[in-house]
Amino acid sequence: MSVVLLNPAIVTISRKLPLQSVPVVSFVVLIAAAVLLVGYFWFQNPQQAVNKFATQSIEAEADQLYLP
């Protein structure tokens, strides 16, 4: 069996950190990540719709200008 040596800084932090805070911190990080992802996609979808509409409008206007 091999022995894994940990970084002394990690050992020092882990001794000072209460065990109860580990699940709390991980839960908070997961919730924050979920909120950020949902917010990002919520912002991107309308922006893509506006960009698509603007592109279609510009192309339609350009087609009307260049028709003989």
Residue 8 is classified by DSSP as H
- % of the chain at pLDDT higher than 90: 18
Q: For the whole prediction, is pTM greater than 0.85? A: no
Give me 60's structure tokens: 């339609």
User: How would you classify residue 16: left for phi > 0, otherwise alpha for psi between -120 and 50, otherwise beta?
Assistant: alpha
Residue 40 has pLDDT above 70, yes or no: yes
Query: What is the maximum alpha-carbon separation in the chain?
Result: 83
State the chain's mean pLDDT as an integer.
Answer: 81
